[in-house]
């Protein structure tokens, strides 16, 4: 409103065709350049970019054709491009450009390149109800961290848990527990990020116990056990040490574990 554009620019800004072009460019910039900058985001894959752009295009077309007059004005520059004798050169360039683009896109589609197969895995596969820990059976369902039963000794357990973490987990899960230790880049999938609200924050301590005790080799197929670098910690740590390190994970990140009460009561 208070923005006073020079008349030449205002003519473009108010014209539905150039508005449409502007919206498309803006959408492209946002999807390709802005979204990856947002915290927790990655680069948007090409196919997804294409989908977004198609959606935006449809929206823009609905907007410009919504009213007869706007539609007519929208078509003006296109009509002019096709007919105006003084735009002959532009016409030629646009025709050649579109043709070339179509050729390139088609080539890109038919050319065969070998890409890494998609790595689809279930990040939190369903846990078993029971596991065998060093030969004795541990029932996971309904299991809570036994070290929480005595709050007065929590500090001592945390000291142990912290030591265990730094001696064993640090190279992969990192100083900040965010899965970015100095060995993390060597593995795929990258180590779990405990600071993220999608990992231990969503899980019961029994689930975490299972993942630590059995590691990558203990994953079901949907968890792609062949890729996981998570060791089978029952070979290294005692049950108590694992429960201690679980206490440390929650304490250090500030998350609280998901509890069984909720699940059990909702089932009832």
Residues lying near another protein in the complex (CB under 8 A): 73, 76, 79-80, 82-84, 91, 95, 98-100, 102-104, 106-107, 109-120, 162-163, 165-167, 170-172, 174-176, 178, 180-183, 185-188, 215-217, 221, 224-227, 229-231, 235-236, 252
Determine contact, residues 204/221, Cβ cutoff 8 Å: no
- Beta carbon of residue 248, minimum distance to another protein (angstroms, whole number): 10
Residue 5 or residue 104: which is nearer to another protein going by CB?
104
Q: How far apart are CA 72 and CA 59, in angstroms?
A: 17
- Beta carbon of residue 210, minimum distance to another protein (angstroms, whole number): 18
Residue 213 or residue 230: which is nearer to another protein going by CB?
230
The residue with tokens 């105006």 is 84
- Beta carbon of residue 100, minimum distance to another protein (angstroms, whole number): 7
Residue 10 or residue 262: which is nearer to another protein going by CB?
10
Sign of the dihedral defined by the CA atoms of residues 225, 230, 231, 237, in that order = negative
- Beta carbon of residue 229, minimum distance to another protein (angstroms, whole number): 6
Residue 150 or residue 232: which is nearer to another protein going by CB?
232
- Beta carbon of residue 156, minimum distance to another protein (angstroms, whole number): 15
Residue 124 or residue 221: which is nearer to another protein going by CB?
221
Determine contact, residues 230/211, Cβ cutoff 8 Å: yes
Number of residues written out for the chain? 268
Rg value, the chain, Cα:
29
Residue 113 or residue 266: which is nearer to another protein going by CB?
113
Q: Which tokens go with 160?
A: 């142990």
Residue 188 or residue 263: which is nearer to another protein going by CB?
188
Upstream peptide bond of 189 is cis (omega within 30 degrees of 0): yes
| Phi, psi (deg, nearest 5) at residue 255 | -80, 160
Residue 26 or residue 98: which is nearer to another protein going by CB?
98
Q: Pick the closest to residue 64 from 122, 120, 127, 17 (CA basis).
A: 17
Mention every residue, 6+ apart, whose C-beta is less than 8 A from residue 233: 168, 212, 213, 215, 242
- Beta carbon of residue 226, minimum distance to another protein (angstroms, whole number): 5
| Phi, psi (deg, nearest 5) at residue 153 | -100, 10
- Beta carbon of residue 106, minimum distance to another protein (angstroms, whole number): 4
Mention every residue, 6+ apart, whose C-beta is less than 8 A from residue 188: 119, 227
- Beta carbon of residue 266, minimum distance to another protein (angstroms, whole number): 34
Q: How far apart are CA 189 and CA 176, in angstroms?
A: 18
Determine contact, residues 220/125, Cβ cutoff 8 Å: yes
């Amino acid at each position: 409103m208070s923005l006073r554009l020079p008349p030449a620019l205002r003519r473009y800004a108010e014209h539905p065709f150039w508005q449409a072009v502007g919206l498309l460019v803006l959408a492209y910039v946002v999807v390709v350049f802005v979204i990856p900058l947002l915290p927790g985001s990655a680069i948007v894959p090409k196919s997804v970019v294409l989908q977004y752009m198609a959606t935006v295009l449809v929206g823009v077309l609905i907007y410009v054709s919504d009213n007869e007059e706007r539609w007519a004005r929208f078509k003006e520059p296109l009509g002019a491009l096709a007919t105006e004798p003084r735009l002959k050169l532009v016409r030629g360039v646009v025709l050649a450009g579109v043709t070339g683009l179509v050729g390139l896109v088609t080539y890109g589609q038919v050319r065969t390149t070998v890409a890494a197969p998609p790595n689809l895995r279930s990040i939190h596969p369903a846990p078993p109800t029971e596991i065998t820990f060093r030969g004795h059976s541990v029932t996971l369902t309904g299991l809570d961290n036994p070290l929480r039963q005595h709050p007065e000794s929590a500090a001592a357990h945390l000291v142990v848990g912290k030591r265990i973490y730094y001696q064993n987990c640090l190279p992969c899960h990192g100083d900040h527990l965010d899965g970015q230790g100095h060995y993390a880049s060597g593995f795929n999938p990258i180590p779990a990020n405990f600071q993220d609200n999608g990992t231990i924050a969503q899980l019961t301590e029994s689930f975490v116990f299972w993942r630590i005790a059995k590691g990558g080799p203990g994953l079901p197929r949907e968890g792609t056990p062949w890729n996981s670098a998570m060791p089978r910690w029952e070979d290294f740590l005692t049950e108590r040490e694992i429960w201690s390190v679980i206490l440390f994970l929650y304490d250090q990140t500030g998350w609280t574990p998901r509890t069984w009460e909720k699940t059990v009561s909702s089932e009832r």
